């Protein structure tokens, strides 16, 4: 790919894009990775909604010749961008996410644990679990789970508490984190939730569901550790620095690259990251677990319509059809703008940013989030290099949602993603 070639030269500083006639992005089938899933090259250590294929990030970093210094992902989810960075040769990573489960998965993927030690401790844990000794708890994590009996059978509850107690005996933080991820998958799998959905729905025939919790945990643990050792650990020895938490203001560091995929819209009407992660977040004592989706981008009600730049006409058009939905969409763009502006000072001159976004539909109107991102960066000392359009064939998310907000009325939401590439100005 040649920089700036085929780039649609829109002036994102001007409010000049006409509603419905815009066709953002240049098709580039190289980034489609048709037929490839996450597990093709990097089996995930824990399920997560709307993950990015690390192959995409790796290709971007190579094509745009990004400096191999450091990388920031401000909405890191399960940490796919770090895997891309690692493959490319970056050794210093910083990531943020408001979802505690996301932080755990990201950390697990890029924290080095020595193989023999890990395998020994795994055996020790499994032996302890199968010994089924008496335990005494300081506090019972079941008490954290809202409506616990509705979601988990009494029998499974007992087994889960025992397994968790054994995991807590391991005092090495990185090791404990890996074990907790296997536990988290188990918690969800043995609960009455329908397993192939991200939202929480109880299965119809829950009374006859009697999983063997120990067996499920052992299987999850073995598979997670195998994937960690086969696909991630061999590349982790070289990592120099790693910071992943929930508070972006915690770093004063400057970055040469951002590689990220922010949410497509508010969690309520797009992807419910909080709901997906509820059980483990509650189990571990995260008090905001049930309210997490409303804390994420676009989760709070806006009082005014978003009436700036490229998004103005679109929001106005939605407002003619449904004022509540227009306010919901506005809330997301107010938050996204604020969040992106908060990143500007953390990027070095000539630093590159890659935002992989989806242009969701609200009331049948496709919102040009890609153009919005480019516009916000261009108003803040960046130039737009390119927007690449790629087919979504492999994202782990529902491709349909209910833009009408009425159950059962579905429409295609997205079949493309846009990769917005911008670079910070060099003042001469
Ligand atoms: C599309 S997902 C990122 C997926 C990630 N690229 C991966 O491959 O796993 C978007 C993430 O943004 C997080 N998020 C939403 N609002 C946020 C906010 N205001 N600050 C930080 N993270 C946020 C969500 O928790 C979610 O993990």
Separation of alpha carbons 110 and 89, rounded Å: 13
Ligand 1 neighbour 257 (Cβ under 6 A): no
Q: Which pair of structure tokens corresponds to residue 252?
A: 């004063």
pLDDT in tens, 217-230: 999 999 999 999 99
Q: Is residue 217 part of a domain?
A: yes
Q: Is residue 124 part of a domain?
A: yes
When the pLDDT of each residue in the chain is averaged and rounded to a whole number, the result is 89
Phi–psi pair at 259, nearest 5 degrees:
-130, 120
Nearest-atom number in ligand 1 for the CA of 292 is 25
Q: Is residue 181 part of a domain?
A: yes
Looking at the structure, do residues 299 and 402 belong to the same domain, yes or no?
yes
Tell me what pLDDT residue 197 has: 83
Cα–Cα–Cα angle for 288, 367, 301, rounded to 5 degrees: 35
Mean pLDDT (whole number) for 341-364 = 96
Nearest-atom number in ligand 1 for the CA of 298 is 16
Transcribe 61-89 into DSSP letters: HHHTT--SS-EEETT-TT-HHHHHHHHHT
Q: Is residue 282 part of a domain?
A: no
Q: Return the residue whose CA atom lies nearest to atom 15 of ligand 1.
A: 296
CA of 126 to the centre of ligand 1 (A): 33
Tell me what pLDDT residue 24 has: 66
Q: Return the residue whose CA atom lies nearest to atom 27 of ligand 1.
A: 77
Looking at the structure, do residues 120 and 225 belong to the same domain, yes or no?
yes
Tell me what pLDDT residue 127 has: 96
Looking at the structure, do residues 340 and 395 belong to the same domain, yes or no?
yes
Lowest-pLDDT choice from 99-108, 238-247, 293-302, 306-315: 238-247
Looking at the structure, do residues 302 and 396 belong to the same domain, yes or no?
yes
Looking at the structure, do residues 119 and 224 belong to the same domain, yes or no?
yes
Ligand 1 neighbour 25 (Cβ under 6 A): no
Tell me what pLDDT residue 12 has: 57
Mean pLDDT (whole number) for 88-97 = 96
Q: Per-residue pLDDT for 242 more than 50?
A: yes
Lowest-pLDDT choice from 52-56, 95-99, 236-240, 288-292: 236-240
Q: Is residue 186 part of a domain?
A: yes
Looking at the structure, do residues 349 and 316 belong to the same domain, yes or no?
yes
Tell me what pLDDT residue 11 has: 58
Tell me what pLDDT residue 343 has: 95
Q: Which pair of structure tokens corresponds to residue 56?
A: 């995409």
Separation of alpha carbons 168 and 151, rounded Å: 23
Tell me what pLDDT residue 224 has: 98
Mean pLDDT (whole number) for 374-391 = 96
Separation of alpha carbons 175 and 21, rounded Å: 53
Tell me what pLDDT residue 332 has: 98
Classify residue 306 by its DSSP letter. -
Tell me what pLDDT residue 428 has: 60
Tell me what pLDDT residue 3 has: 29
Q: Which of 214, 233, 252 is the last residue of a domain?
A: 233
Q: Per-residue pLDDT for 251 more than 80?
A: no
Tell me what pLDDT residue 138 has: 76
Classify residue 31 by its DSSP letter. G
Ligand 1 neighbour 105 (Cβ under 6 A): no
User: What is the H or E stretch that residue 273 is in?
Assistant: helix 273-276
Q: Is residue 132 part of a domain?
A: yes
The more confidently predicted of residues 157 and 414 is 157
Residue in 60, 75, 83 to alter for ligand 1 test, most ligand atoms within 8 A of Cβ: 75
Tell me what pLDDT residue 250 has: 62
The more confidently predicted of residues 21 and 334 is 334
Separation of alpha carbons 380 and 32, rounded Å: 30
Q: Return the residue whose CA atom lies nearest to atom 7 of ligand 1.
A: 51
Find where tokens 């989806």 sit: 358
pLDDT in tens, 149-171: 999 999 999 999 999 999 999 99
Please report, rounded to a whole number, the percentage of residues in the chain having pLDDT higher than 70: 89
61 pLDDT band (50/70/90 cuts)? very high
Ligand 1 neighbour 299 (Cβ under 6 A): no
Cα–Cα–Cα angle for 278, 280, 283, rounded to 5 degrees: 105
Given a contact cutoff of 8 angstroms between Cβ atoms, the answer to whether 358 and 300 are in contact is: no
Looking at the structure, do residues 253 and 362 belong to the same domain, yes or no?
yes
Ligand 1 neighbour 297 (Cβ under 6 A): yes
Looking at the structure, do residues 311 and 381 belong to the same domain, yes or no?
yes
CA of 78 to the centre of ligand 1 (A): 8
Separation of alpha carbons 151 and 360, rounded Å: 32
Looking at the structure, do residues 262 and 388 belong to the same domain, yes or no?
yes
Q: Per-residue pLDDT for 270 more than 50?
A: yes
Q: Per-residue pLDDT for 129 more than 50?
A: yes
Mean pLDDT (whole number) for 175-188 = 98
The more confidently predicted of residues 140 and 354 is 354
Nearest-atom number in ligand 1 for the CA of 51 is 8
The more confidently predicted of residues 106 and 241 is 106
Phi–psi pair at 44, nearest 5 degrees:
-70, 150
Separation of alpha carbons 94 and 71, rounded Å: 6
Given a contact cutoff of 8 angstroms between Cβ atoms, the answer to whether 193 and 202 are in contact is: yes
Query: Please, what's the b/e burial string for 312-334 (b: 16 or more CB within 10 A of its CB; e: otherwise)?
Result: bbbbebbbeeeeebbbbbbbbbb
Looking at the structure, do residues 263 and 372 belong to the same domain, yes or no?
yes
CA of 394 to the centre of ligand 1 (A): 18
Residue in 60, 71, 263 to alter for ligand 1 test, most ligand atoms within 8 A of Cβ: 263
CATH number for the domain that contains residue 376: 3.40.50.150
Q: Report pTM.
A: 0.91
Q: Which residues contact 196 (CB under 8 A, 6 or more apart)?
A: none
Separation of alpha carbons 184 and 180, rounded Å: 6
Q: Per-residue pLDDT for 397 more than 60?
A: no
The distance of Cα 414 from the centroid of its chain, to the nearest Å, equals 17
CA of 116 to the centre of ligand 1 (A): 33
Nearest-atom number in ligand 1 for the CA of 335 is 19
Q: Which of 184, 216, 233 is the last residue of a domain?
A: 233
Tell me what pLDDT residue 132 has: 80
CA of 385 to the centre of ligand 1 (A): 24
Domain count within the chain: 2
Looking at the structure, do residues 206 and 315 belong to the same domain, yes or no?
no
40 pLDDT band (50/70/90 cuts)? confident
Q: Per-residue pLDDT for 120 more than 80?
A: yes
The more confidently predicted of residues 400 and 87 is 87
Looking at the structure, do residues 184 and 122 belong to the same domain, yes or no?
yes
Helices vs strands, H then E, count in the chain: 15, 12
CA of 382 to the centre of ligand 1 (A): 23
Q: Is residue 273 part of a domain?
A: no
Q: Which of 185, 211, 233 is the last residue of a domain?
A: 233
Q: Per-residue pLDDT for 98 more than 70?
A: yes
Q: Return the residue whose CA atom lies nearest to atom 21 of ligand 1.
A: 97
Domain that holds residue 248: 26-110+241-267+294-424
CA of 97 to the centre of ligand 1 (A): 6
Transcribe 378-409 into DSSP letters: HTTTEEEEEEEEEE-SS-SS-SEE-TT-STT-
Separation of alpha carbons 324 and 305, rounded Å: 10
Given a contact cutoff of 8 angstroms between Cβ atoms, the answer to whether 106 and 78 are in contact is: yes
Ligand 1 neighbour 78 (Cβ under 6 A): yes
Tell me what pLDDT residue 23 has: 54
Length, in residues, of the chain:
428
Q: Return the residue whose CA atom lies nearest to atom 26 of ligand 1.
A: 77
């Amino acid at each position: 790919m040649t920089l700036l070639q085929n780039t649609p030269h829109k002036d994102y500083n001007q409010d000049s894009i006409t509603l419905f006639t815009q066709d953002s992005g240049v098709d580039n089938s190289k980034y489609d990775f048709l037929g490839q899933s996450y597990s093709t090259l990097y089996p995930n250590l824990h399920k997560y909604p709307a993950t990015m294929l690390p192959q995409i990030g790796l290709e971007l970093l190579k094509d745009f010749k990004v400096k191999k210094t450091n990388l920031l992902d401000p909405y890191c989810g399960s940490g796919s961008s770090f895997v891309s960075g690692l493959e490319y040769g970056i050794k210093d990573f910083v990531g943020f996410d408001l979802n505690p489960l996301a932080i755990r998965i990201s950390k697990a993927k890029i924290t080095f644990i020595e193989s023999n030690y890990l395998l020994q401790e795994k055996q020790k844990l499994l032996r302890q679990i199968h010994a089924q000794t008496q335990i005494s708890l300081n506090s019972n994590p079941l008490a954290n789970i809202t409506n616990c009996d509705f979601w988990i059978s009494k029998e499974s509850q007992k087994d889960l508490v025992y397994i968790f107690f054994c995991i807590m005996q391991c005092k090495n933080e990185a090791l404990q984190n890996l074990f907790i991820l296997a536990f988290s998958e188990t918690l969800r799998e043995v609960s009455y939730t329908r397993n192939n959905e991200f939202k929480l729905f109880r299965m119809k025939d829950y009374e006859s569901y009697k999983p063997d919790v120990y067996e499920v945990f052992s299987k999850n643990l073995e598979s997670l550790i195998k994937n960690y050792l086969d696909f991630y650990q061999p590349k982790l020895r070289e990592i120099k620095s790693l910071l992943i938490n929930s508070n972006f203001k915690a770093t004063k560091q400057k970055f040469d690259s951002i590689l990220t995929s922010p949410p497509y819209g508010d969690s309520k009407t797009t992807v419910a990251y909080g709901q997906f992660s509820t059980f483990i977040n509650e189990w571990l004592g995260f008090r905001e677990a049930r309210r997490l989706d409303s804390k994420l981008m676009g989760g709070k009600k806006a009082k005014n319509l978003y009436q700036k730049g490229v998004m103005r006409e679109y929001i106005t058009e939605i407002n003619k059809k449904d004022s509540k939905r227009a306010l919901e969409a506005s809330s997301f763009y107010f938050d996204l703008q604020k969040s992106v502006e908060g990143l500007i000072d953390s990027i070095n001159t000539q630093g590159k940013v890659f935002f992989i976004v989806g242009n969701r539909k609200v009331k049948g109107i496709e919102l040009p989030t890609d153009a919005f991102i480019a516009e916000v960066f261009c108003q803040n000392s960046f130039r737009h290099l390119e927007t690449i359009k790629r087919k979504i064939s492999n994202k782990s998310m529902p491709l349909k949602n209910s833009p009408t907000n009425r159950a059962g009325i579905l429409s295609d939401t997205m079949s493309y993603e846009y990769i917005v590439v911008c670079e910070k100005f060099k003042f001469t």
